[in-house]
Amino acid sequence: MKHNSADPASAAIYLGIDGGGTHTIAVAANAGGELIRRIESGPSNVKLLSDAELIAQFQSLAQALPKPTVLGIGLAGAWAKSDAQRVRELAAIVWPGVSCHATNDLEIALLAAQLPAQQSRAPKRLPAGAQVLIVSGTGSCVYTKTTRGHDLLIGGWGHVLSDHGSAYQIGLDALKAIVAHFDRKGSWPKLGAQLLHALQLNEPTELINWAQAASKPEVAQLALDVFAAWAKGDSLAATILDTAIGALAENALTCAHRRAKHGTPIQFVLAGSVLLKQPRFARLLARRLRQEWPTARVTPLQRESVWGAVELARQTAEPSPQPERRAPSRQVSKTEASLAATGLGTPPVLPVRSTRLSPTEQRNPRSLRLDKLSLADGITLMIREDARIHSALLAERRPIERALRLIVNSFRQGGRLFYVGAGTSGRLGVLDASECPVTFRTSPDMVQAILAGGPTALLKPVEGAEDDAPAGATAVAIRGVTARDVVFGIAASGTTPFVWGALQAAKARRAKTVLLAFNPFLNIPHAMRPDVCIIPKHGPEVLTGSTRLKAGAATKLVLNLLTTLAMVQLGKVSSNLMVDVVPTNVKLRDRATRIVQELTGADYALAQTTLLACGGVIKKAVARLRRR
């Protein structure tokens, strides 16, 4: 107690956690940077663990370590703001009241590279300069911080899409190389024999079943045998590892060119088991880097990445006196950071709030006895509530017309319509967009849907997706939205951050913007206000908060009339016939034939034959018959 009263800060315990795809390391240190305890546990990739699994991981660490004063956590996959927020919230369950800074595992590795090589009672950071972190372990990537503090990552897409120069890629290349050698030369190479021995397989064809069932770590483990063969002078192993070195060097140099001008001093920091445990491999990579960047300094990571997490905890407890050098408070996704670096990013999205409780969340006085009603009365109630939708939409026909004119004008200029939404709202956008190509013979690009959480969210909720405004902005930027396009946001409550992120990104690109919401109490900042706001007032839902009911039905009606009437204006309807329908099945082929009959007076057989001769295009068939 005397110690605490004299200097409370000296009793502080900084806990750093470094969680990767294969294992997690946690270190507790005192204020002087001295190790109190270090432990290891299982993987902690935020993209692969559920909330319960991540909490269990934290609980196992908490049980083995002293209670920290401050937490610094760097986990694989924690690139988005929502990821970091999720980690902080789950950490707060295990360590209530403890301040926590959460980020990704690469940022703490880069931070560790800036620390003294040995533990010190004065853990001051070394001058950073321009640093590029090269990681090659089971997976691989290259990472740096831009001069503006943005994350810049090359690789990190997983073993299917990238991981070039990683242990996994080395193992996979070895498997491909030995079977290719066997196919072309008819002999089984020495490296092949070594791999079969390592896998306890008896003959080459057994590799087929093994490779199909092998996990990423199992394939990566083969890299050790490739390095062993290389040490014995195996030429096949040498070729494989030379390819790996080339891939790592190319990515690292690309990252360096985006970080600093060529020729300026730069430090390449080597990390990951391949680069730290295979010194010959690391030396050859360093030589390759210095050949292309003569002023480069190439050094292995001197301290474990987890010490970067400890330093992160220390900085959280003791804010830097130079705020301009601090990392940005918001972690951005890989894609968002890349967009920002190329000038495609958008300003931060201000929160759109409701001045009163949204009708979508209010209780409906007419359905207070819903759980007591008979089935017949329940049916009557719901049908009567749905009848309110039509008068509410009629009251909004002027803004609907303005939105429709924007869409038609966009289509005539070769522009596109983008629906943006989350949950039910987003799924309805997907439904309408998916039906346009067949109904109106449009390009799939003409009407598109952007759903928070992506395709996964079509079938099940994606946690936190609707709250991620930067993800909405990124989706719009990735689609290449321009001034010719219309971005149509759908948000029942009107406050969905993902939708507003998309709308703001669209405005920044001078696209026209529309909002469909069911909350008349929205407080939208003037600078963020869409070109058109459609806000029907149909009142609370029968089932409180269930916007798949009236809000969903109203959304479907609005989207129906927008695309239908827009296509009418574009000449894709004659009378009330869909003359651009694509006959993709028996029913539609019959419908198309009857449309040709209606428009030309030909009999069914002639209409059918002509339609077939015209490739199923109704307008061509009609024109041909009219010329006869």
Per-residue pLDDT of 519-575, as tens digits, reads 999 999 998 999 999 999 999 999 999 999 999 999 999 999 999 999 999 999 999
Q: Which fold has domain 2-115+304-332?
A: Nucleotidyltransferase; domain 5 (3.30.420)
Question: Taking all residues of the chain, what is their mean pLDDT, rounded to a whole number?
Answer: 88
C-alpha span between 339 and 480 (Å, rounded): 11
Most confident residue range from 112-121, 325-334, 387-396:
387-396
Q: How far apart are CA 448 and CA 455, in angstroms?
A: 13
What are 199-243's pLDDT values in tens digits? 988 889 999 999 999 998 899 999 999 999 999 999 999 999 999
Q: Which residues pair with 13 in a beta bridge?
A: 30
Q: Is 598 considered catalytic here?
A: no
**Does the structural domain 154-300 have CATH classification 3.30.420.40?**
yes
Q: Where are the beta strands (DSSP E) in 392-499?
A: 417-421, 447-451, 486-490
Q: How many CB atoms lie within 10 A of CB 541?
A: 24
Residue 201's identity, in one-letter code, is L
User: Is residue 151 over pLDDT 90?
Assistant: no
Helices (DSSP H) in 95-166: which residue ranges?
105-113
435 catalytic per annotation: yes
The predicted structure's pLDDT at residue 451: 94
From the candidates 304, 396, 466, 541, give the one annotated as an active-site residue. 466
For position 123, what pLDDT does the model report?
A: 45
Token pair for residue 319?
């804010």
**What is the reported pTM?**
0.67
Q: Name the residue type at position 285.
A: L
Please report how many Cα atoms fall inside a 13 Å half-sphere around the Cα of residue 114, on the Cβ side: 23
Kindly indicate the confidence band of residue 184, based on its pLDDT and cuts at 50, 70 and 90.
Answer: very high
Residue 486: pLDDT band with limits 50, 70, 90: very high
Name the nearest CA neighbour of 56 among 12, 13, 19, 15: 19
Instruction: Name residue, tokens 């015209």.
Output: 614
Order of all β-strands in the sheet with 447-451: 447-451, 417-421, 486-490, 512-516, 532-534
Burial class (CB in 10 A: 0-12, 13-18, 19+), 291: exposed
Domain ranges of the chain: 2-115+304-332, 154-300, 353-569, 586-627
Element (H, E) at 522: strand 522-523
Q: For domain 353-569, is the CATH number 3.40.50.10490?
A: yes
Domain 154-300 in the same topology as domain 2-115+304-332: yes
Q: Convert the pLDDT of each residue in 352-373 to its tens digit.
A: 888 899 999 999 999 999 999 9
Query: Which among 53, 292, 361, 435 is annotated as catalytic?
Result: 435
